[in-house]
Chains A and B, each alone.
Chain A
Amino acid sequence: MPDGIISLYDLPVGRSGVVSSIHADGLTRRRMMDLGLVPGTMVHALRHSPAGDPKAFKIRGAVIAFRREEAEKVLVEMREERD
């Protein structure tokens, strides 16, 4: 494993990761998957909200914001910085 598995919330701004598993359930899980967060998806952390909490990610070409509680339920494998 190159960089280890971390939660989506911990993915530093500016870095990318690949979804390895989702630990939410019920409607939240379905919502996340509908937005394209399925295992194997590349996610890029874009920015924090000015107040710190929701964090915006680029997922399949769209910008989606998650609150900390949700983002912590998604595990990603961080990718090496390329360029």
Chain B
Amino acid sequence: MSRAPLAAGLEELIREVERVRPIVARDFNDQVVGHIYARAESIARKVVSQKERPKIDWDKRLDDILTSRMFGFPSMILLISAVFWITLAGANYPSELLAALLFRGQEYLADLCLRLNVPWWAKGFFVDGVYRCVTWVVSVMLPPMAIFFPCFTLLEDMGYLPRVAFNLDRLFKKAGAHGKQSLTMSMGFGCNAAGIIACRIIESPRERLIAILTNNFVPCNGRFPTLIVLAGLMVLGASGSPAATLVVAGMVIFGIGMTLAVSWVLSKTLLKGVPSSFTLELPPYRRPQVGRIVIRSVFDRTLFVLGRAVCVAAPAGGLTWILANVYAGGLSLLGHAAAWLNPFGKLLGMDGFILVAFLLGFPANEIVLPILIMSYLATGSMTRLDSLESLHMLFVVEHGWTWLTAVCMMLFSLLHYPCGTTLWTIRRESGSVKWTALSFLIPLGIACFVCFLAARSAVLLGLA
């Protein structure tokens, strides 16, 4: 059959439809839905029977606490803090264990290289570069993730996330954003790229863009452990202490506040408009299958982190080693870059090496801290680093960190641009180079501004 008859047939059909439509068009959809629901009702009446009600209405009981005027917000903060505390306290020990184990492996490898007469640069590249970076990613990043996720998934499977959206909707509405943005933010805790994809649940394009542009302010699983380690450094204690928990929780809440503020500004400027309609179903609470969730998410996380470690951390480690060991004019390339960035870094309360680490960590946030550690190690006098205590030694004693450095790096980590994968996802989801660029520039500008402000005011107030 040729094209003409088909096209003509379609046109004629459309014409016929247009002729008939005026007769029925008024409340056509209302009638259709009304009839379907009437049928659904009559079927349900025949099929469903409920002789007695359950004695206790658990949904109501739980909602009476978790979404009540009195306890709604306190219980939310309590639950989130509890999750953070469990993560911090629980990650401490496995972290130390993994670190000790893996660093013994490094010594063993170095030994082996020596015996096999491996050239120094090959040993340096593979052992001090690739292996060390992977080691740091695994020992520092893996335990917090492997603990945070089961906890979070438990809340998710229980049905708590929609309640968060219900509780917080007022704030989002005030900010001109969509109530479901809190759901996409929750997904962002795992991975900002996943958070960006989750933004599809927001129908209005304007509010979806707001959610996409601000998702970065939720610390993803690559940045969360960074916050934990730095918080631990800052309070000078074990990183599982309640004080460190408070610092991390404070950072996360600051990120949420920033999300709301930026959403508000965006909806007043670039993305003007009124909030679109919002309907949210609050599903019944369901008892989560604790055992299965714990096993599955620990397993999934471990595989995920290991996969990323091999794909991103290993090459990044190698690259960092090269940069730290190729000399030009008496200074390594890394040293040059750090020296060049140092004034700017100092202005933001950090130093050049930290900025270099953030730049090199662009593909994936979990390698920022490992890269920083490697750069410090390559330029300092310390050669052994086999516990989290020695990290304190490295940062504070050798490189002159103060609490302000830690705070500024945490702030920068929380606010700075989204990682490469996320930007790529934003490009795909928004279909626009302009919005992708803005989703890079806005957070970067804010991060610089906030760090500058923090550093300046601390100095002016004589606090640091």
Contact = CB atoms under 8 A, between A and B. Distances in A.
A contacts B directly (C-beta below 8 A)? yes
Given A65-B279, A67-B277, A70-B277, A51 B167 contact: yes
Interface of A: 24, 27-28, 30-36, 38-39, 41, 46-54, 56, 62-67, 69-70
A58 to B, nearest CB: 10
Nearest to B33: A33
Chain A interface helix/strand/loop/mixed: mixed
A71 B215 CA distance: 29
A39 B34 contact: yes
Given A49-B166, A56-B282, A69-B277, A30 B29 contact: yes
A46 B63 CA distance: 10
Interface of B: 29-30, 33-34, 37, 59, 63-64, 67-70, 72-73, 166-171, 173, 179, 203, 275, 277-284
A49 B281 CA distance: 13
Contacts of A35: 279, 281
A25 to B, nearest CB: 10
B34 A32 contact: no
Contacts of B33: 30, 33-34, 38
In order of increasing CB-CB distance, the 7 nearest A-B pairs are: A50-B72, A51-B170, A28-B277, A63-B282, A33-B33, A53-B170, A65-B280
A50 B167 CA distance: 6
A52 B170 contact: yes
A54 B281 CA distance: 11
A35 B326 CA distance: 65
Contacts of B169: 49, 51, 53-54, 65, 67
Contacts of A30: 29, 33
A64 B283 CA distance: 9
A64 B280 contact: yes
A41 B33 CA distance: 12
Given A33-B33, A36-B37, 9 more contacts: A47-B67, A51-B168, A54-B278, A56-B166, A63-B282, A64-B279, A65-B280, A70-B277, A70-B279
Contacts of A53: 169-170, 173
B68 A50 contact: yes
Contacts of A38: 30, 33-34, 37
A12 B186 CA distance: 32
A50 B328 CA distance: 62
Contacts of A39: 34
B278 A66 contact: yes
A62 B170 contact: no
A27 B69 CA distance: 31
22 contacts: A33-B29, A33-B30, A38-B30, A46-B63, A47-B68, A49-B167, A50-B73, A54-B166, A54-B179, A54-B278, A56-B282, A63-B281, A64-B280, A65-B169, A65-B281, A66-B278, A66-B279, A67-B179, A67-B277, A69-B277, A70-B277, A70-B278
A54 B277 contact: no
Nearest to A73: B277
A31 B277 contact: yes
Contacts of B171: 51
Contacts of A41: 37
A72 B299 CA distance: 48
A20 to B, nearest CB: 13
Contacts of A65: 166, 169, 278-282
A13 B148 CA distance: 37
Contacts of B64: 47
A46 B64 CA distance: 10
Contacts of A52: 170
Contacts of B70: 50
A61 to B, nearest CB: 9
